[in-house]
Amino acid sequence: MPPFRRTHRAPDATGARVIDPPVQAAADGVGSIEALVDNNRLLRAAFDTRIGDLRLWELVAATRREVLTVAAEYSRSYRDIVRPDNVADWIARPIIMGGHQPELFHPGVWLKNAALDAYARQVGGTALNIVVDSDRCARASVAVPVGTPREAKLEHVPFDAAAPEMAWEERGILDEECFDSFGDRASDLLAPLVPDCILRRWWPLAIERACESHRLGLAIAQARHILEQRFGFETLELPVSEMMRLPTVMVFMGWLLAHTRQLHEAYNAALAAYRREQRVRGRGRPMPDLAVRHDASGEWLEVPWWLWSRDDTRRRRVFAQATPDMLALSDMETLRVELPIAPDTSASKWIDALSRMEEHGLRLRPRAILTTLVSRVLVADVFVHGIGGAAYDRITDDIVRRLTGCDPPRHAVVSGTLRLPVERAFPGFTADDPGARLAALQRQIRDLEFHPETFLEPLAAQSQEVRDLALEKRRWIDTFPTPALAKRRCREIRAANERMVFHAREIKDDLFARVGPLATAVRTRKLLTSRDYPWCFYAEKTLKSFLLLESG
């Protein structure tokens, strides 16, 4: 399998990590981050597609300058940043990039940020994490495990009041008291499992940032970024909403919109190819095709953006209708805007049109695949994905090839698993395996159904009726299943089994009585050993050991 078709799985063992390529190069340099950077730069140098007045590789150079400059300014607004004096050299160095939503994600996701820093140090470049605030904020609570190995449950602890779904970019803090008290409330619930979790000491940073940013997602992301600095990470951050406002990025967005039909067809063709390759059934997996709509004005093609307004923050799908010198965008509900975007119009008009949308409170934001496409094509020398993103970026690769005719830069893959220290709170927890005991019990129940006589042995001690049923069953088993007798043979064996099970009803009742508690124990074990709890549920020492890659 070629390196760009490699597959990965999240590790099972707590503390285990997937880092591909490894941070430290092998002796021969094969499979190193340095080799990946060099390969990607060669691939990007071949990008000769014309984007407005520039070749794509020229637009890349301009975009990298803008992104680094704005990311440094944004990061400096809340933490210390050392910006190199030689800007030209800074821009020429490798950029290692990744991104995620501004939520309380699990440690395996946070490991990507540690890898960004370690990779960038290895190649003498810059680590940049994009905060995907264009994604939706579905809920403002986290699940905290409470209880014992015998019976545990999830307690959902809110860090803000409930609100309709909207992009993180628009989500303010509605209940300051709820937000301010979240750290203590969640830490108190978690204390029996993790008495020294970092959340209680870290959350005041989020409260401080909330007072400055007035945005729920940015408060969490900026507080985490400050903590990363205390851990020694030298990374920059930039929200997607800010990146989409950069003129060079608007040029690329305008070019994609100007080629709406090609983008629509490339997107759907890439999805179809992915489904064939992965043998995926269903038109909605891993995501739906871009749709086609019709109204009185003609055909509308769906494009991979979200659209909403400052007055109505509900994210809507975007449909486009192109004319020779104009592009209409609509949510097919209430929003419609006409932009002077076409293949033959100048890039300056694209920038002006998209800038005016922003000024009038209309938000046009890329969906996930388009976000990583922009990041990988225009900015990153290496983009670091998690396992899920790496799988879906095969679709992104295909879209790039279909639109430009060029191979896209390859990505790195980083993930890991960290589980709560349940064994420390409940000694012997890991040694017990209720799943194995439940499976053995289910085999016993199945054996009772098909071989009840084995549970009634010795047969000599049973009633005459049971002995007769066992003999009758044996006689039918020994009968050759001719076509004429096959169905009757099956019915008679089943009937004998059912009548013998009646005589073993006490055994049956005992077996079924043990199923419930074991099933509960299995669910509890799965709940307590989940890898999906937020990184701030762990002790600082545990997190440092997991994240600081040079230590292991």
Residue 100 sits in a domain whose CATH number is 3.40.50
State the 10-residue block means of pLDDT for the chain, 552 residues long.
61 93 73 92 88 90 96 96 88 96 96 96 96 95 92 94 95 97 97 96 97 96 97 96 97 96 96 91 87 94 96 95 94 94 94 95 95 95 90 90 90 95 88 90 94 86 88 91 90 92 92 92 91 96 85 42
The answer to whether residue 497 is domain-embedded is yes
Angle between helices 486-503 and 505-528 (to 10 degrees): 90
What 3 state SS string does 249-271 have? Answer: HHHHHHHHHHCHHHHHHHHHHHH
Residue 510: CB atoms within 10 A of its CB come to 10
Residues 38 and 127 in one domain: yes
Q: What is the DSSP letter of 377?
A: I
What is the domain range of residue 84?
3-133+233-249+368-422
Tokens read off for 546: 């997991």
In a domain, 297, yes or no: no
Helix (H, G, I), strand (E, B) or coil at 303: strand
Per-residue tokens: 20: 């591909």
Q: What is the pTM of this model?
A: 0.89
* 377, 452: one domain: no
CA 544 → CA 155, 187, 535, distances in Å? Answer: 27, 19, 11
Q: Give, in order, the Cα–Cα distances in Å from 250 to each of 190, 274, 428.
A: 45, 29, 58
Contacts for 427 with CB less than 8 Å, ≥ 6 apart: none
Instruction: Say if residue 379 is in the same domain as residue 523.
Output: no
pLDDT at residue 446, rounded to an integer: 95
Q: Exposure of 308 by Cβ count < 10 A (0-12 exposed, 13-18 middle, 19+ buried)?
A: buried
Mark whether 418 and 439 lie in a shared domain: no
What element of type H or E holds 315?
none
Please report whether residue 139 resides in a domain: no
**Shared-domain flag, residues 115 and 16:** yes
Buried-exposed string 110-147: b where 16+ CB fall within 10 A, e elsewhere: bbbbbbbbbbbbbbebbbbbbbbbbbebeebbbbbbbe
Q: Which residue is it, tokens 């508690």?
A: 517
Claim to verify: residue 15 and residue 128 sit in the same structural domain = yes
390 and 449 in a single domain? The answer is: no
Which residues does residue 329 pair with via DSSP β-bridges, in sequence order?
Answer: 320, 337
| Residue 481 included in any domain | yes
Count Cβ atoms below 10 Å from residue 427 Cβ, excluding itself: 9
CB 259 within 8 A of CB 49: no
Last residue of one domain, picked from the residues 422, 443, 464: 422
Same domain as 415, residue 445: no
Integer CA distances (angstroms), 164 to 134, 137, 307, in order: 15, 9, 16
Q: Does a structural domain hold residue 453?
A: yes
Clarify whether residues 405 and 455 are in a common domain: no
User: Residue 237 is which amino acid?
Assistant: E
The number of domains in the chain is 2
Which three-class secondary structure state does DSSP give residue 317?
strand
410 and 447 fall within a common domain: no
Examine residue 260 and state whether it is found in any structural domain, yes or no.
Answer: no
Q: Indicate whether 408 belongs to any domain.
A: yes
- Provide the 3-class DSSP secondary structure of residue 274: helix
pLDDT in the model for residue 7:
75
Residues 440 and 503 in one domain: yes
Asked, for residue 302, whether it belongs to a domain, the answer is no
Residues 450 and 508 in one domain: yes
